[in-house]
C-alpha cells in the first residue's frame, strides 16, 4: 500500500535551504521582511501591498495590550506557579480567547461576511441586519465595559480603512448592524475593537478564523511583555492575597 500524498504550499527545507511560500527564508526574507509581511505571506501566499500591510499591522497591534485583563491575570498567576514554563503561562492567557473576551472578532467577521453575501444575493441590508440583531443573544463586536461613547481603537481602524480605500461592503454592513441595534435596544451600541477587526479582515479578503488567529498572535506578544514585567514587578502573589482576603466560605 502506497503512502498517501500530504501536500502543502507553505514551506519545505533541506540541509541548507528553507523555503517559505516560494521564497528563500535566509537569502530573501531575513533582514528584509517585517513580521507583518511574513505573517501575511504565510497566510495568503502573497506579499501584501503597502495599504494591505498598513491595515494588517494595525489589526495586529490593536489587541496586543489592554491592561491587566483576565488573560493577563491568568498568565501572571500561572507563571508564578511554574516560572520554568513560560509557554504554559502564555497558553493560560490565551485559553480564554472566546466570545466574551478577545476572540469575538472571528464571530464578527462571520456575521458581516454572511450579511454581505446575503445582500449580494438580493436581500435588503437593513432587513438582514435587523434580523441578525434580533436573533442573537450576544452580538459579536458590540459593546464595551469601559469605552464610551465609542471605542477609540475602532475609530482609528475605520479611519485607516477609509484612508486606504478599504471601506467597502463589510464596513457598510457593520454600520447597518449598528443602526439596527438602536431600533432593537433603543440605543445605538458601540462597535468595539473586535468588531472593527472583524471588518478589517473581511475587507482584506481573509477568512474569519484569521480574526481569532490575529488575536492570539498579538496577545501572545502582550502576555510575554507582562511576564517580563512580572519578573521585576511581581503582582501575582498580591492578586492571590486579595482573593484570599475576600473569599468567604458559606456552608
Residue predicted with more confidence, 137 or 28: 28
- The arithmetic mean of pLDDT across residues 52-63, rounded, is 97
pLDDT on residue 100 = 76
- The architecture that CATH gives domain 105-206 is Orthogonal Bundle (1.10)
- Split at pLDDT 50, 70, 90, the class of 83 is very high
pLDDT on residue 97 = 82
Residue ranges of domains in the chain: 105-206
Q: Which helix (DSSP H) or strand (DSSP E) does residue 12 occupy?
A: strand 11-13
Q: Rounded to an integer, what distance in angstroms lies between the CA atom of residue 125 and that of residue 116?
A: 8
Note the pLDDT tens digit of each residue in 210-243: 999 999 999 999 999 999 999 999 999 999 999 9
Q: Rounded to an integer, what distance in angstroms lies between the CA atom of residue 210 and that of residue 42?
A: 12
CA 29 to the chain's CA centroid: 25
The pLDDT of residue 29 is above 90: yes
- Split at pLDDT 50, 70, 90, the class of 137 is confident
pLDDT on residue 138 = 85
pLDDT on residue 99 = 74
Phi, psi (degrees; rounded to nearest 5) at 73: -60, -45
Please check whether residue 113 is in contact with residue 119, taking contact to mean a CB–CB distance below 8 angstroms: no
pLDDT on residue 96 = 84
Note the pLDDT tens digit of each residue in 166-203: 999 999 999 999 999 999 999 999 999 999 999 999 99
Q: Rounded to an integer, what distance in angstroms lies between the CA atom of residue 234 and that of residue 228?
A: 9
Amino acid at each position: 500500500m502506497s503512502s498517501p500524498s500530504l501536500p502543502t504550499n507553505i514551506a519545505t527545507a533541506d540541509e541548507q535551504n528553507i523555503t517559505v511560500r516560494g521564497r528563500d527564508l535566509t537569502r530573501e526574507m531575513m533582514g528584509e521582511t517585517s513580521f507583518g509581511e511574513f505573517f501575511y505571506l504565510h497566510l495568503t501566499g502573497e506579499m501584501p501591498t503597502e495599504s494591505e500591510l498598513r491595515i494588517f499591522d494595525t489589526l495586529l497591534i490593536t489587541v496586543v495590550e489592554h491592561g491587566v485583563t483576565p488573560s493577563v491575570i491568568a498568565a501572571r498567576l500561572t507563571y508564578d506557579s511554574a516560572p520554568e514554563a513560560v509557554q504554559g503561562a502564555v497558553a493560560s492567557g490565551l485559553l480564554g480567547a472566546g466570545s466574551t473576551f478577545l476572540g469575538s472578532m472571528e464571530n464578527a467577521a462571520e456575521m458581516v461576511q454572511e450579511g454581505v453575501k446575503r445582500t449580494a444575493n438580493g436581500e435588503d441590508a437593513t432587513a438582514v441586519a435587523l434580523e441578525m440583531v434580533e436573533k442573537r443573544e450576544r452580538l459579536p463586536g458590540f459593546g464595551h465595559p469601559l469605552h464610551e461613547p465609542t471605542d477609540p481603537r475602532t475609530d482609528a481602524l475605520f479611519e485607516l480603512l477609509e484612508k486606504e480605500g478599504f471601506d467597502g461592503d463589510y464596513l457598510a454592513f457593520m454600520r447597518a448592524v449598528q443602526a439596527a441595534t438602536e431600533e432593537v435596544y433603543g440605543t445605538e451600541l458601540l462597535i468595539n475593537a473586535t468588531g472593527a477587526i472583524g471588518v478589517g479582515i473581511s475587507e482584506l479578503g481573509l477568512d474569519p478564523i484569521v480574526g481569532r488567529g490575529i488575536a492570539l498572535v498579538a496577545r501572545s506578544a502582550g502576555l510575554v511583555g507582562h511576564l517580563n514585567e512580572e519578573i521585576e514587578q511581581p503582582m501575582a502573589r498580591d492578586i492571590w492575597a486579595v482573593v484570599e482576603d475576600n473569599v468567604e466560605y458559606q456552608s
